[in-house]
Amino acid sequence: MKVCVVGAGAIGATIGAKLFSAMGQVCLVARGANLDAIRRDGLQFIDQVGSASGVHRVPASDRPADFGPQDLVIICCKAYSLGSVLAEIGPLLGPNTVVLPALNGVPWWYFHGEGGNWNSARLDSLDPDGNLEQALDMARVIGCVVHLGAERLQAGVVQHTAGRRLIIGEPDGSDSERVRQVQGVLREAEFDCEVSLRIRRDIWAKLIGNLSFNPVAALTGYRMDQICSDPVLLGPIRQVLAEGIEVARRLGVDVGVTPEQRIAIARQLGRARISMLQDLEQGRPIELAAIVEAVMELADRVGVGVPVTRTLHALVRARADAIGVGVGRDAAAPVR
């Protein structure tokens, strides 16, 4: 299977390096200093979780046309960069190419194939003009939830710090041949890859953690272990978890975890510095729309009050504005 990973940040480089180590037929779409470093020195990968450490000479370019049609395209950009990414990946798409968006937060395709009252609804917080919906045939999409920790230490150097779990699933809940093929490829690369027949439940199970822990990390500068050991911080985190669980329930999704169980899962990340904190520290825009604002929009649609979520949103948005990084609303932002 020919695979292209679009976006060579922490998660994209981790997936790309492990796939390349396992099977070789992998290429990367990257930009700027990151691309220059990968071309010059190779992708330097420190695998604290598996056995793929090393310098990987992965073919890399900022021009998808250099690689041609692929069997699988894994999108690992920031959610706010998705508009520019989808506009560029056409040369990677053959008649049967599968697209696996490995993104944080609520995905823009969330209601595609939902089959209920919300089927094909569009989220204004993510795709206000319908540009994302028009840019890619959503029949290509397989959902993906990423449960691993990674950090880009510098251009071209990435460290895999925690977790191997990837959950993938068809938006319509079917158990298809193509989803099993993707699972096989990811398992070959040492990922604990599960096929879910209820991918939205799995999205919410991770999302409520991002919704609560990411803003707190961005505001405090704390690692995950520091947050989880601070009883004062765990108070509002429990409240935000409960708010997210209720929004999901009103949408017909049983998240399947309690706030305490979700905190226990977060503890497994140990000393990880989670994504919103990394972005702030490295001067990058934060993914506020996909992680927080989409949940606020969904809460409005189903009539759920989410006051603590809104408070954290206001505070972290002000923090981002104060240090001049913004909240990633530019759809033409570069792939990172």
Clarify whether residues 224 and 272 are in a common domain: yes
Q: Are 180 and 245 members of one domain?
A: no
Q: How confident is the model at residue 172 (pLDDT cuts 50, 70, 90)?
A: very high
| Residue that is last in its domain, among 147, 182, 197 | 197
Based on the structure, what is the number of domains in the chain? 2
Same domain flag for 176 and 211: no
- If asked whether residues 206 and 192 sit together in one domain, one would say no
56 with 183, same domain: the answer is: yes
Judged against a pLDDT cut of 60, whether residue 121 lies above it is answered with yes
> HEC states along 4-33?
EEECCCHHHHHHHHHHHHHHCCEEEECCHH
In this predicted structure, what is the pLDDT of residue 256?
93
76 vs 326, which has greater pLDDT?
76
CATH number, domain of 66, equals: 3.40.50.720
Q: Span 250-270, mean pLDDT? A: 94
Q: Would you call 206 a catalytic residue per the annotation?
A: yes
CATH number at residue 280: 1.10.1040.10
What are the CA-CA distances from residue 206 to residues 22, 64, 122, 137, 230 (Å)? 27, 30, 21, 25, 21
Single residue among 141, 166, 197 that ends a domain in this structure: 197
Q: What is the average per-residue pLDDT within 148-154?
A: 91
Report yes or no on 295 lying in a domain.
yes
Each residue's pLDDT tens digit, 264-275: 999 988 888 888
Q: Is 205 found in the same domain as 172?
A: no
pLDDT for 117 equals 84
Q: Assess whether pLDDT exceeds 60 at residue 333.
A: no
| Predicted pLDDT of residue 326 | 75
pLDDT-derived band at 329, boundaries 50, 70, 90 = low
Section 86-98 average pLDDT:
97
208 and 187 fall within a common domain:
no
Q: Are 7 and 151 in a shared domain?
A: yes
Tell me the residue range of the domain where 317 lies: 201-323
Final residue before a domain boundary, out of 135, 170, 197: 197
Is pLDDT of 334 > 80?
Answer: no
pLDDT of residue 115: 79
**Shared-domain flag, residues 121 and 34:** yes
- Residue tagged active-site, from 2, 18, 78, 206: 206
Task: Clarify whether residues 236 and 160 are in a common domain.
Answer: no
Q: Which residues contact 72 (CB under 8 A, 6 or more apart)?
A: 1, 2, 3, 4, 97, 98, 99, 100, 182, 185
Q: What whole-number percentage of the chain has pLDDT above 70?
A: 97
